[in-house]
């Protein structure tokens, strides 16, 4: 399987935008096309595009009225943008631990962390695989807690027959350059709640009174001297039309772009099947479909991480990434560098950040190896899988 990361469709649509010379009369053409196409692919009624996949989550929390004094449960084992979104809304992040085999947020830990202040949970479909939504929804049953799916790393994943992105109250996706689909930067939110989608778009669009189901304000209205523009506070989180054009083309190509990563991941799984006691990949339970943003495995001992990587590179490997530092162990939390958001967080929670609240995540993080799957020529992926197999042979022995 050989495909292009950026193909003819992307160039065609971007050129169309450039040829429009950014006239405001045609400024939302590709935004509308993208949102309609993406919602359809994820089996949702509505989609709202954004400048990036962090603004998406911040805006969702604002649209739900979550802020000072409210708590949002998150996983520490992910990019810290998930935590940033909570802090940007002036709410308090509360960290739940993860499952040692799937590496995803653990429903039993979520249940332990829920208090009367809990207003939302942001789950992460880590590395391309969803968490256990049935158990998470059981933990929140009857508690009026919003569920926001952070699916930056999961396009066309599936959970027990449901498309990931159609399960929670809303779902956030990212078009950042490393993701399955990319427009360089960008994000999008899917939901089946029309009222929420309208509130979300107003927050995305500077609180404009004139936006609702449609993303565009009529020129005849905005030219009137008595026109009132802003009905509420909002942010300028709209996706630029050039990015929307690229993301629309990528959305049309979603299946082939995701398939390329899944095919690469299969090769890595095969390469390590004889070494499961030493290097165990992310567990995929029955009824789940992993879209493999990256192929991830944990090595049996954290002290082996660097020596294994050195041998892999020596053998011709493309290198691989570590997992992110746990969010609560990052300097912005440990040094309380929160741009004064700490004044909205109780002393109890601030103290909790210093007490290593997620032991499973802390054990996993230094052992995880993230291998890239974005090989657009399958022969390149095969070569890397062969190198991985050779490295396992040499490092662990037969």
Active site residues: 179
Cα–Cα distance between 336 and 330 in angstroms, integer?
10
Both tokens of 365, joined, read 């993080």
DSSP class of residue 157 equals -
* Residues sharing a CB contact under 8 Å with residue 40, sequence separation 6 or more, in sequence order: none
For residue 88, how far is the Cα from the chain centroid? 17
- Which helix or strand (DSSP H or E) is residue 379 part of? helix 378-396
CA-to-CA dists, residue 215 to 51, 61, 71, 203, 206, angstroms: 14, 20, 31, 12, 12
SS3 187: strand
Q: How many Å apart are CA 127 and CA 296, to the nearest integer?
A: 7
CA distances from 68 to 90, 93, 264 (A): 5, 11, 44
Exposed e or buried b per residue across 367-391, where buried means at least 16 C-beta atoms within 10 angstroms of its C-beta: bbbbbbbbbbeeeebebbbebbbbb
Are the beta carbons of 222 and 229 closer than 8 angstroms? yes
| DSSP letters spanning 301-354 | -GGGHHHHHHHHHHTT----EEPPPPGGGSHHHHTT-STTGGGGS-HHHHHHHT
Show the tokens assigned to 187: 């994000």
Token couple for 30 = 């590709």
What CA–CA distance (Å, rounded) separates 188 from 211?
A: 17
Distances (CA, A) of 299 to 276, 282, 307, 372: 9, 11, 11, 16
Number of CB atoms found within 10 A of residue 364's CB: 22
């Amino acid at each position: 399987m050989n495909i292009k990361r950026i193909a003819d469709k992307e160039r065609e649509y971007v050129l169309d935008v450039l040829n429009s010379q950014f006239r405001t009369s045609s400024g939302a053409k590709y935004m509308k096309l993208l949102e309609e196409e993406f919602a359809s692919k994820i089996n949702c009624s509505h989609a709202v595009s954004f400048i990036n996949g962090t603004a998406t989550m911040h805006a969702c929390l604002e649209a739900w009225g979550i802020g000072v004094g409210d708590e949002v449960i998150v996983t520490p084992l992910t990019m810290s943008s998930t935590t940033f979104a909570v802090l940007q809304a002036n709410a308090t992040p509360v960290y739940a631990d993860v499952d040692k085999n799937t590496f995803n947020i653990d429903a039993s830990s979520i249940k332990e962390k829920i208090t009367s202040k809990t207003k939302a949970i942001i789950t992460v479909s880590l590395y391309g695989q969803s968490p256990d939504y049935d158990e998470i929804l059981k933990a929140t049953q009857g508690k009026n807690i919003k569920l926001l799916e952070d699916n930056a790393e999961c396009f066309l994943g599936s959970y027990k027959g449901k498309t990931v992105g159609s399960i929670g109250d809303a779902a956030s996706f990212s078009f950042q350059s490393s993701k399955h689909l990319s427009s360089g930067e960008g994000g999008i939110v899917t939901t089946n709640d029309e009222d929420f989608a309208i509130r979300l778009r107003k927050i995305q669009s500077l609180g404009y009174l004139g936006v609702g189901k449609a993303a565009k304000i009529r020129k005849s209205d905005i030219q009137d001297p008595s026109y009132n523009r802003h009905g509420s506070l909002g942010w300028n989180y709209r996706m630029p039309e050039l990015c929307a054009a690229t993301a629309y083309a990528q959305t049309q190509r979603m299946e082939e772009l995701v398939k390329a990563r899944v095919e690469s991941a299969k090769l890595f799984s095969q390469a390590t099947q004889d070494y499961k006691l030493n290097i165990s990949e992310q567990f995929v339970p029955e009824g789940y479909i992993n879209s493999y943003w990256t192929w991830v495995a944990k090595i049996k001992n954290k002290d082996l991480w660097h020596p294994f990587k050195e041998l892999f590179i020596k053998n011709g490997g493309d290198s691989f990434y570590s997992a992110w530092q746990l969010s609560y162990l990052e300097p912005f939390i440990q040094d309380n560098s929160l741009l004064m958001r700490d004044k909205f967080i109780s002393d109890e929670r601030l103290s909790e950040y210093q007490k290593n609240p997620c032991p499973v995540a802390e054990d996993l993080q230094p052992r995880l190896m993230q291998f890239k799957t974005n090989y657009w020529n399958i022969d390149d992926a095969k070569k890397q899988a062969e190198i991985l197999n050779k490295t396992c042979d040499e490092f662990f022995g037969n």
